[in-house]
Chains A and B, each alone.
Chain A
Amino acid sequence: MQLIQDGLIGAWNLLIQQDKLVFDAAFRSVWISIVAVCLAACVGIPFGWQLARKKLPFRRIFVMVFQTGMSIPTVLIGLVCFAMFSRKGPLGSLDLLYTPGAIVLGEFCLALPIIVSWVYRTLASQDPRIRETALTLGAGVFRRAILELREARVGIMLALLTAFSRCFTELGIAMMVGGNIKFRTRTLTTATALETTKGEFERGIAMSLIILAIALLVTLTIAALGPKEKGGETC
C-alpha cells in the first residue's frame, strides 16, 4: 500500500514539476499512437467495408485472419518488425530501426486487425434497409459506402478508440523496434519498464498512473466529440 501511495504522490509531483522526461515520453507516446491509428484507419476502414459488402475471394479466410490478428502478442509484431528493419533484414536499407517511424509501422500492424474486424462486424450487422434504400435512390458505390460508414459511425469510433488504447499501452513493439532511447524513442510504457528495472518503483507507478490518466482523457474527449444521440441504434 505504501508503494501505491508513494506512487500517487510521485505522479502528482512529476506532473507539477513538468518533469522533462515524462512530458517528452508522453508527447511521443501520444503522437505515435495517433499517427499509427490514422494510418490503420485509412487502410482498415475501406478494407472492412469491402469485406462486408463485396464478394471478395477468400472473404471468410480474411475475416478469420483479422479476427485472430486482434490477439497477436505485441512482442511477436515487434520481433517480425525487428527482423524486417534490421540491417540484415529486407528493409534494412531504410534505416528505420530505433526510430519513432519504426514504432509507428509496428503499431499500424497492431491497429489494423482491430479496425478491420470492428468495421466489418459493425457493417455486417447493419440494417440492410439502409443499403437497399440507398440502392433504390440510385446511389453509386462511393456514395453508398460513405452513407453506410456514416450510419456506422458509433461502431467505427469505438474501433478507433480500442485501437488507440491498444497502441498507446503496448510495450513490446516500442521496446523492440524503438529501443527505448532517451529523448528519441522512449515512450511512456518503455519508460515505465525502465523505472521498474532500475528499482524505482514509485516512479514506475507514477508513470503508469500518467498512462491511465491520458487514456482516460482521450476516452472522455472522444465521448464528448462523439454523436450526441443515443448510442447503439446504428451499431
Chain B
Amino acid sequence: MTLRLPKTFSVYQRVESMIHPNQHRTAFNILWLCLLVLTLVLTSPGCTPAPSDFVKKKQVLRLATTTSARDSGLLDVLLPEFERENDCRIDVIAVGTGAALQLGSSGDADAVLVHARHAEQRFMSAGYGSRREEFMKNEFVILGPADDPANVKGRSARQILSILSSKNQRFLSRGDESGTHQKERELWVGLNIEPAWENFMESGQGMGATLTMADEMRAYVLCDMGTYLNFRDRIELAPLNSPSAGLDNHYSCIVVNPDRHSHLTPNLANSFADYLISRSVQQKIGRYQLHGFSLFTPTRLAETP
C-alpha cells in the first residue's frame, strides 16, 4: 500500500529496462490491450441492456410526474396496461410539480401529471399546454406530534394553522414550489398570515424527506395522504385536522402543446389523457388501495359513458 519508491531500483536496472523492454513491460502492454478491448466491447451497442429496445423502435411517452404520484404506487398499476395497449414505452420522470411544469414548457416532456391548480392554469394560459384533464383527487392532512403541544387536534385546517402561527409552534414547510407547498401557501394567503414566525422552517426537500425531518424535530407539517400512508408506520406524527376541511388535492394530466415543439408525440399524449379519464381506469383508481386505505377519488367517473 505504501507508495515509497522501490530503493532497489538502481540506475543500471532503469537504463537496462529502457534498452531491453523486459517481460514486465510486455505484460503491462497486454493488460492495457485487454482493458481497451473490454471497454470497447462493453460500450458497443449490442452489449447495452435491454437490446429489445434497439431491435424494435417503440414510441416513447415522456411523462413528468410529481413524486407523490409515483410514491403512491398508482402509476405502477396504470401505466403497464397503457404501454401494452399502445405498444409504447412510458418514461416516468418524477420531480416536483414546479419542475414537472418546467419540463413541460421546455418540451422535455410530452405530458405532465401534477397537482397545483393555480400553477396549472398559468401554464395553460401561457400556451404551454394544449389540453388539461383533472382526473382524480385526494386530501391533504395536517400532521403533528402525537402529544400535540399546541392542542389543535380535531380543529379545522384553517384554525390549526392560525393557532400554530400565534403560538410560535414548529412548522416545517416544503418550500420547494411543489403542489403541496403551493397548497400550503394558498392556505396562508387565505388566512392572511405571513408565515415567517421564529419556528417556521422550510426544508426545501421532497415530501418523504420532509416528513422524516418533521418527525425528528417534532414539528407540524402539511402532507398529502399518499405519502402519509406510506410513512405512517415509520413516524410518530399523527393526523390532527378534522375531515372535510377544504384540503382537496386535485391531480390533473396536461398534454404539452405540440405546436411549440415539433419533436413531441402529441397523439400518444392525447390517448394517455383519454386513457386516464376512461371509465375502466377511473374505476381502477377508485379501487386502488395503499396499506388498506383507498387513496384517490376518481373525479371523472360520472361523466364518462
Could you tell me which A residues sit within 8 Å of B by CB distance? 60, 63-64, 67, 86-87, 97-98, 121, 124-125, 175, 179-182, 184, 186, 190-191, 194, 196-201
Please give me the residue from chain B that is nearest to A97 by CB atom.
B216
* Chain A CB within 8 A of B286 CB: no
Given contacts A180-B203, A181-B201, A190-B204, 6 further A-B contacts (CB under 8 A): A64-B1, A175-B209, A180-B204, A182-B175, A197-B206, A198-B176
In the assembled complex, the CB of B209 is this many whole angstroms from the nearest CB of chain A, namely 8
In the A-B complex, list the 9 residue pairs whose CB atoms are closest, starting with the nearest.
Answer: A199-B102, A199-B99, A182-B202, A194-B204, A199-B98, A198-B177, A180-B204, A198-B98, A197-B96
Q: Given that A63-B1, A180-B205, A190-B204 are contacting pairs, would A198 and B99 also be in contact in the complex, using a CB cutoff of 8 Å?
A: yes
Could you tell me which B residues sit within 8 Å of A by CB distance? 1-5, 95-96, 98-103, 175-178, 201-206, 209, 213, 216-217
| Measured CA separation A49–B13 after assembly (Å) | 32
Q: Which residues of B contact A191 (CB under 8 A)?
A: 204
* Residue contact A179 to B203, C-beta cutoff 8 Å: yes
Q: Given that A182-B175, A182-B201, A199-B102 are contacting pairs, would A86 and B216 also be in contact in the complex, using a CB cutoff of 8 Å?
A: yes
Q: Given that A98-B216, A198-B176 are contacting pairs, would A179 and B205 also be in contact in the complex, using a CB cutoff of 8 Å?
A: yes
- What are 29 A-B pairs at a CB distance below 8 A? A86-B216, A87-B216, A97-B217, A98-B213, A98-B216, A98-B217, A121-B2, A121-B3, A125-B3, A125-B4, A175-B209, A179-B203, A179-B205, A180-B203, A182-B204, A186-B204, A191-B204, A194-B175, A194-B176, A194-B204, A196-B99, A197-B95, A197-B96, A197-B98, A198-B98, A198-B177, A199-B100, A200-B98, A200-B102
| Measured CA separation A201–B175 after assembly (Å) | 16
In the assembled complex, the CB of A54 is this many whole angstroms from the nearest CB of chain B, namely 14
Q: Which residues of A contact B203 (CB under 8 A)?
A: 179-181
Q: Which residues of B contact A199 (CB under 8 A)?
A: 95-96, 98-103, 177
Among B95, B98, B101, B205, residue most surrounded by chain A Cβ atoms (within 10 Å): B205
* Residue contact B205 to A175, C-beta cutoff 8 Å: yes
In the assembled complex, the CB of A10 is this many whole angstroms from the nearest CB of chain B, namely 14
Q: Which residues of A contact B175 (CB under 8 A)?
A: 182, 194
In the assembled complex, the CB of B233 is this many whole angstroms from the nearest CB of chain A, namely 14
Q: Which residues of B contact A194 (CB under 8 A)?
A: 175-176, 204-205
Q: Given that A97-B216, A179-B205, A181-B202 are contacting pairs, would A197 and B176 also be in contact in the complex, using a CB cutoff of 8 Å?
A: yes
In the assembled complex, the CB of B170 is this many whole angstroms from the nearest CB of chain A, namely 11
In the assembled complex, the CB of A20 is this many whole angstroms from the nearest CB of chain B, namely 13
Please give me the residue from chain B that is nearest to A67 by CB atom.
B1
